[in-house]
Amino acid sequence: MNKPLIFITNDDGITSKGLRSLVEAAEEFGEVVIIAPDKPQSAMGHAITISNPLRLHPSIVFPNHKAFSCSGTPVDCVKLGIYEVMHRKPDILLSGINHGENTSSNVLYSGTMSAAVEGAMENIPSVGFSLKDFDSEADFSATIVVAKKIIKEVLSKKLPDHVCLNVNIPKGSIENIKGIKICKQAHAFWEDRFDKRDDQFGRPYYWLTGDFECQSNDEDSDLHAMDNGYVSVVPTHFDLTAYSAMETLKKWNL
């Protein structure tokens, strides 16, 4: 029997510490293949590259593994991996470990999670991992322990069809993590602001910034789990239908 084929990608780019940490967590479980963006691709959501060609280069970043850098987005990496690089369907797809959390509605903006959602579309058991620490030198030691535990379970139990996992891990040491909670996506958003500046010619430009606003404090949400020292695991799919609104709309005069 073949060893599990483990496809690893991320959105922070092939040289990021979070990616190296995920490879370190995964390599004991099977054959690892890495295809990751050649530059940071944070907040690229589910973007794909359709108006430009894509490049794929063998990478020396992981000398012990088959690894490629890709000129596209995280979802491009998943598509190229599955349709051009892999010799068979991967047994698991892992994305991350992201430098920064992807709880609540951030799942929509997140390249890390969009790669996992793309894996779910292909019906590959897929997991996105994110650490609540934006620092490029963040300490991933606790996330490696958590990731091993989750990878082991996913390889053994698989996942429901077309469902992936959104795993968020609090900052800090493994001793400070209280446990792992199965959660729903919190109802929370960015209150955006733009930092408007003038360039050297006096012409305005804008930097997107803002504050994160939690509009609910449901105890079963990912934000609540994280705020209380737990790892949050949200089963995530890609059916965006608001079923509860269908009956209301059927009464409209359309």
Site for its own copies in 65-124 (CB under 8 A): 73, 75-76, 79-80, 82-84, 105, 107-109, 114, 117, 121-122
- The residues facing 184 across adjacent strands are 221
Binding of residue 155 to its own copies (CB under 8 A): no
Considering only residues 217-236, where is the footprint of its own copies by CB under 8 A?
233-236
Name the segment binding its own copies (CB under 8 A); options: 12-20, 61-69, 86-94, 184-192. Answer: 184-192
Considering only residues 160-179, where is the footprint of its own copies by CB under 8 A?
160, 162-163, 165-166
Helix axes 17-26, 141-157, angle to 10 degrees: 50
Strands 31-37 and 56-58: unpaired
Question: Which two tokens mark 28?
Answer: 């004991």
Considering only residues 10-29, where is the footprint of its own copies by CB under 8 A?
none
Q: Minimum distance between the CB of residue 54 and its own copies, rounded to whole angstroms? A: 4
The secondary structure of 137-187 as a DSSP string is T---HHHHHHHHHHHHHHHHH--STT-EEEEEE-SS-GGG--EEEE-BPP-
For 20-43, b/e burial (b = at least 16 CB within 10 A) is: bbbbbbbeebbbbbbbbbbebbbb
Burial of residue 71, with CB atoms counted within 10 A of its CB: 0-12 exposed, 13-18 middle, 19 or more buried: middle
Name the segment binding its own copies (CB under 8 A); options: 58-66, 133-141, 154-162, 169-177. Answer: 154-162
Asked whether 218 and 234 are in contact (CB, 8 A), the reply is: no
Whose tokens are 């509605």? That residue is 105
Binding of residue 143 to its own copies (CB under 8 A): no
Strands 66-70 and 56-58: antiparallel
64 versus 250: smaller Cβ distance to its own copies: 250
Q: Minimum distance between the CB of residue 185 and its own copies, rounded to whole angstroms? A: 5
- Would you call the peptide bond into 97 cis, given omega within 30 degrees of 0 as the criterion? yes
Name the segment binding its own copies (CB under 8 A); options: 19-27, 87-95, 134-142, 147-155. Answer: 147-155
Name the segment binding its own copies (CB under 8 A); options: 20-28, 54-62, 86-94, 134-142. Answer: 54-62
Q: Minimum distance between the CB of residue 14 and its own copies, rounded to whole angstroms? A: 16
Integer Cα distance of 56 and 54 in angstroms: 7
Binding of residue 201 to its own copies (CB under 8 A): no
Considering only residues 30-49, where is the footprint of its own copies by CB under 8 A?
40, 42-49
Q: Minimum distance between the CB of residue 138 and its own copies, rounded to whole angstroms? A: 18
- Please identify which residue in 134, 136, 194, 229 interacts with its own copies, judged by CB under 8 A: 194
Binding residues with its own copies: total (CB under 8 A): 78
DSSP-derived secondary structure letter, 106: H
